[in-house]
C-alpha cells in the first residue's frame, strides 16, 4: 500500500513529503488498531 501511495503522490510534487509523512502515520495507526 505504501509503495502505491508513494507512486501516486510523488509526481504531484509540492507538499508531497509532509503528505507522505501523514499517510505513514495513519498506516501505522491502522496497523496498531488491527493488531489489537
Q: What is the pLDDT of residues 9-25, one digit of tens each?
A: 666 655 667 777 888 88
Per-residue model confidence (pLDDT) at position 34: 92
Task: Tell me the HSE value of 9 on the side-chain side, using a 13 A CA sphere.
Answer: 17
Q: What is the pTM of this model?
A: 0.47
Per-residue model confidence (pLDDT) at position 18: 76
Pairwise pLDDT comparison (11 vs 32), residue with the higher score: 32
C-alpha cell belonging to residue 20 = 507522505
Do residues 20 and 6 make contact, with C-beta atoms less than 8 angstroms apart? Answer: yes
* Backbone torsions φ then ψ of 15, nearest 5 degrees: 70, 5
Do residues 20 and 9 make contact, with C-beta atoms less than 8 angstroms apart? Answer: yes
Domain map (residue ranges) of the chain: 2-35
Pairwise pLDDT comparison (4 vs 13), residue with the higher score: 4
Angle CA 6–2–16, to nearest 5: 30
Amino acid at each position: 500500500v505504501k509503495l502505491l501511495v508513494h507512486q501516486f503522490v510523488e509526481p504531484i510534487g509540492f507538499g508531497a513529503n509532509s503528505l507522505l509523512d501523514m499517510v505513514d502515520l495513519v498506516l501505522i495507526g491502522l496497523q496498531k488498531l488491527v493488531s489489537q
